[in-house]
Structure 1
C-alpha cells in the first residue's frame, strides 16, 4: 500500500478473513439479483424470436428441426456464457481484491490506494449501501464491494461521519438499492436517437483510430439492439441494390446474423479476461458493433461499384483486402481502448478479433442475403423437393455406373480418318440454362460434325441425375482420360465446351447443392488434358471472367475461346433462358452458318457486341487464341468432312484469319 495514505483525509482499511467472506457473499448476491441477468434476456429473446419466426415460415420439417436446434444451442450458449462470466467475476473478486488499502473521498468520488496503483469510483458507480454494526458495506455497479469496518476509524463518530458523507454524495441510504443505468427502452425517443447518433459518431472515430471515440459511447442493451437493427437494415438495402426490388425477404439469413452477434459477444467477453476493466464487456461489444457498421459502408460501396462498373473488377480483390485489413486493425484498437488493455496483454485483443473475423468468413456469415431476387416464373417451384431428389440413395450409387456406361459407349477413332470428339460440361446446377446449352450443343455437333459416336455430356442439374453423369473434377478427369485413350492423337480433335458461372479469380463453378466438388481452375484443367495425352484441342469456356482461362490453356496445338475478357462478365445466365449470349451467338447462330470454328467466333463476337449495345450492357469482349500447329490438323479434318459430304471447311481461312496466333 502507498505510504501517502497517512496524509490527512486518507484512512487505512484492513479486512479480516471473515470480512472478506462477507464481501464475497455480497458479490454473490449481486450476481443472483435479476438485474445481473437483465443484459442476457434481450439476446435470448432475439434468438427465440428469430427461431420461432423461421420455424413458422419453414415448409420443410427437417429444416424446421434444424432451426429449432439452432435456437436451443444459441440460448444455451448465451446462458452458458453468462454463467461463465458470473463465475469469473466471483473468482476474480476472491483472488484480486486486497485485504489492506487506503481510502479517501472528495467531490468526484471514492479513491483507493492499493499496493502498486490507485483506482477511483465516481459516486454514480455506487449501487447500494448496507449499514452493519461493525461497519459499512458498499456495493458497486460493477459487481464489486467494499467493507469499511468501524475499528479502522478513530471512533464510531468518525465512522458515522464517513457514512453520512457517503450517503449525501451518492444519494443512497442504507438498505436502498440504486436503480440500474437507464436503458434505451426507458429513455425518451429523443434521448434514444441522440445516444444512437453518439454511438455512430464513435464508430466513425473508432474507424479513424481516434482515442476520443470511447467518450462518445452511450452503452445500454437497447443501444446494442438498435445498432444491430441498423446493421441489418444496411445489409437489406445493400441486398436490394444488388438483387433489385423484385424479390422477397430471406428469413433463413436471420440466424446467420444472430450467430455473428454471438461471435462478437464471445470475442468481447474473452478479450475482457485479459483486461483490468473486465466489467466493460458491453462497452466493447458496442464499440466493435459501431465500428463494423461504419466500415461496412465503404465495403458495400466498393462491391456495388465493381458490380456496376466492370472496369473496376481488377481492383475488387485489392479493395476487399484493404478494407478487411482496415476493419481488423480498427476492431483491435477499439478493444484495446475500451477495455484499457496494457501493451503486454494486447495480443489477446489481436487473437480475439482475428478469430472472430476468420470464423465469420469460414462460416460464410457475410454471404447470407436478407433479400433475394424473385425467381423466374418457370423456375422450379419446389426447391425442397429438388434437394430431396438430389440426395436420394439411388442417385449416389448410380452415378459411378452411369459414368462408366457413358465412357464405354464412346467409340474409338478410325485410324486414317480425322474426327471430332465432343465433351460438353454444364457446371452450375441451380440454373437450367447451362443444361439446355450442353444438350443443344450435343445435338448440333451430332448433326453438323458427325460426333454422335464420340460425344459425352457431363451436367450438374437435379433433373438429369438419373440420365447424365454429374460434372465434377473427378468425372472430368476420367472422361478426358478415356477420350484420350480412344482418340487417334495425331488426327483427331477434342472439342471441349464448358458453360457455367465464373469468378474473378478464374474458378469455374461446379455446383450441385448440397454436394461440394473440387474447384476447377485453368491449372486443374490443363493438368487433366496433359495427363490424358490429348494433343489437338478446341476449347470453349463460357462463363464470367473466362478470359482468365485463355493464357493458361493456349498452346501451339490449341484453339482457345472464351465468352469474356479476364476482367469482364459474360451475359445471359438466367434460369429461364435457352442460351447464354455467347452460346446463342456462337453455337445456335454462327455454327449453323459455317463449320469454321474461328470464322464462327468472328460472327458471334459481332452479334454479341450488337446485343450488348442494344441492352445497355458493358461489352464482355470474347477472347480467342489460335495456336499455329492446330491449323494443319483442322485442315485435314476439313478435307475429311468434305469427302464425307457437301460441307463447308472446318479449317482456318488462309487469309484474314481472326484472333491472335502464337
Structure 2
C-alpha cells in the first residue's frame, strides 16, 4: 500500500486530530480518562516515512515513569502466563482483544468483545485483553500497543497446535490509510499496517486465524491477510471511514453490530457478518452517513475449522449491553 503525496499526509493528520477532538469524558464525570492533547507526529516525517513506520510496527513511548513501566511489565507477564495450554484432539481458539487507542470507547469495546468471543468460541482461560481505561478508572489491564500485541501473539504461537487450533484477533481503534493507529494519550504512539500484521502472523506460523478489525480504512487488511485458513472481517472498505468512535460512546457502529448483536447468537460466522453489515447499513442510512462498506472474506479451510468451534457455541443468545452506537445519531 503506497500513500500519494501530501494529500495522504493530510488524511493522517485529520484522523489524528479527530482522535484529539473525540476525547470527551462527559458521560463519566467522576473519572477523567487520559487525554489526547497533542498530535504526536514525528517532525519532518514524509508520507513515505509513515508507510515505512507502520510496516515496521512503529511505536514511540515517552514520559513513562519507571515504576509505572514495571507495573505494566508485571501485568503483561501475568496475562501471558495465565493462558491455558491447548487441548489435544480439540480445536481450541485463543482470543486476543486489543484496544490500540486509549479513548474509553475502545477500552469498553475490547473488554466486552473478549467476553462475547470467549463464550462463543469456548476460549475461557485462553483469552487476553490489552486495553486502556474503560472510563470508570485507571486500567488494570496491559496496555494495547503494537509491542504488546506482538508478544501476546508470540505467546499464543508457543501454546497452540498450529495444525488444529485457531487465533481469534479483535482490534479496535482509530484507523488511517496506513493501518491501525496506536495512541495512548500523550505517551504512546504508533501504527500497525496490514503488511506488518501479516508479517508478524507469518513469522509465527499462525495461519488459522479469524481477524476482526474495527477501524476506519480497515478493508486494506483483507488482501494482506487473505489465505485459505483465514477469515477476516473489517468495519469498512480500504478507502472508507467507519463510525461511532467518539470517546464517550460504549460501542463503535461495527463493534455494536457484530459483537454486541450478531456474534451473541449461535449462527455461523458468515451469517453473523451478513447481519452486522446489514445493521451498519441501516444505521448509516438513518444518519445519512456515507456507507462504510464493511468487508468480509472467509477462506475455504477457515470455514471448516470455524465450523468445529461453532458447534460448541452456547445455544442461548446473550443480551446486548451498553448504550447503542446509534445514540450519537440522536445528538446530531
Which consecutive unaligned segments of at least 5 residues does structure 1 have?
1-315, 324-363, 649-662
2:47 corresponding residue in structure 1:
none
Shift of the alpha carbon at 1:414? 0.2
Equivalent residue for 2:112, pick from 433, 440, 445: 440
Q: Which has the higher contact order (CA 8 A, sep 6+)?
A: 2
TM-score (norm 2): 0.76
1:480 alignment counterpart = 153
Equivalent position to 1:608, from 265, 280, 284: 280
Which residue in the other structure is 2:228 paired with? 556
Deviations along 1:204-232, whole A, 9 cap, x unmatched? xxxxxxxxxxxxxxxxxxxxxxxxxxxxx
SS at match of 1:457: strand
What is the aligned partner in structure 2 of residue 377 from structure 1? 26
Matches within 5 A, 1:212-611: 317=4, 320=7, 375=24, 377-378=26-27, 391-429=64-102, 431-461=103-133, 467-503=140-176, 505-611=177-283
Distance 1:523 1:420 in 2: 24
TM-aligned CA distance change 1:488 to 1:465, over 3 Å: farther
- Per-residue CA deviation, residues 542-600 of structure 1 (Å, 9 max, x unaligned), is 00000111111111110011000111100011112111100111111111223421110
Deviations 1:631-658 (A, max 9, x none): 222233334x17xx6579xxxxxxxxxx
Shift in CA distance, 647/513, structure 1 to aligned 2, threshold 3 Å: closer
How far is the alpha carbon of 1:432 from its aligned partner?
Answer: 0.8
Whether the aligned pair in 1 keeps the contact of 2:105 and 2:246 (CA below 8 Å) is: yes
Residue in structure 2 matched with residue 358 of structure 1 by the alignment: none
Q: Distance between the aligned counterparts of 2:128 and 2:21, measured in 1?
A: 35
**Structure 1 residues 629-648: aligned runs within 5 Å:** 629-639=301-311, 641=312
Query: 1: distance between equivalents of 2:122 and 2:212?
Result: 19
Aligned counterparts of 2:113 and 2:8: Cα–Cα separation in 1: 40
**3-state SS of the aligned residue for 1:519?**
strand
- How far has the Cα of 1:319 moved from its partner? 6.7
SS at match of 2:175: coil
Q: How far apart, in 2, do the equivalents of 1:577 and 1:514 lie?
A: 21
Q: TM-score, normalised by structure 1?
A: 0.40
Match of 1:115 in 2: none
Alignment check: 8 A CA contact 2:120 2:310 kept: no
How far the C-alpha of 1:472 sits from its partner, in A, is 1.6
Residue deviations 1:478-510 (CA, integer Å, cap 9, x gap): 11011111112121111100000001x232111
Question: What is the aligned residue count?
Answer: 284
Between Structure 1 and Structure 2, the one with more helix by share is 1
Q: What is the deviation of 1:381?
A: 7.8
Q: Distance in 1 between matches of 2:282 and 2:9?
A: 37
Distance, in Å, in 1 between the alignment partners of 2:9 and 2:146 is 33
Post-superposition offset of 1:623: 0.3
1:423–1:382 distance in 2 versus 1, CA, 3 Å: closer
**Greater Rg over alpha carbons, structure:** 1
1:382 Cα deviation from its structure 2 partner? 7.6
- 1:401 to partner: Cα distance: 1.6
What is the root-mean-square deviation in Å for CA atoms of aligned residues? 3.2
The answer (yes or no) to whether the contact 1:493–1:537 under 8 Å persists in 2 is: yes
Please state how far the C-alpha of 1:428 moved relative to its aligned partner: 0.9
Question: Is the partner of 1:496 in helix, strand or coil?
Answer: strand
**Aligned partners of 2:240 and 2:17: how far apart in 1?**
25
Q: What is the DSSP-based 3-state SS (H/G/I as helix, E as strand, rest coil) of the residue aligned with 2:125?
A: coil
Verify the 8 A CA contact 1:386 1:462 in the aligned structure 2: no
Q: 1:595 to 1:488 in 2, by over 3 A?
A: farther
Return the match for 2:289 from 608, 617, 620. 617
- Conserved 8 A contact 1:424-1:496: yes
Distance, in Å, in 2 between the alignment partners of 1:520 and 1:321 is 17
* 1:508 match: secondary structure: strand
Cα-to-partner distance string for 1:52-100 (whole Å, 9 max, x where unaligned)? xxxxxxxxxxxxxxxxxxxxxxxxxxxxxxxxxxxxxxxxxxxxxxxxx
Determine if contact 2:234/2:295 at 8 Å carries over to the other structure: yes
Match of 1:165 in 2: none
Cα separation, 2, equivalents of 1:611 and 1:407:
38
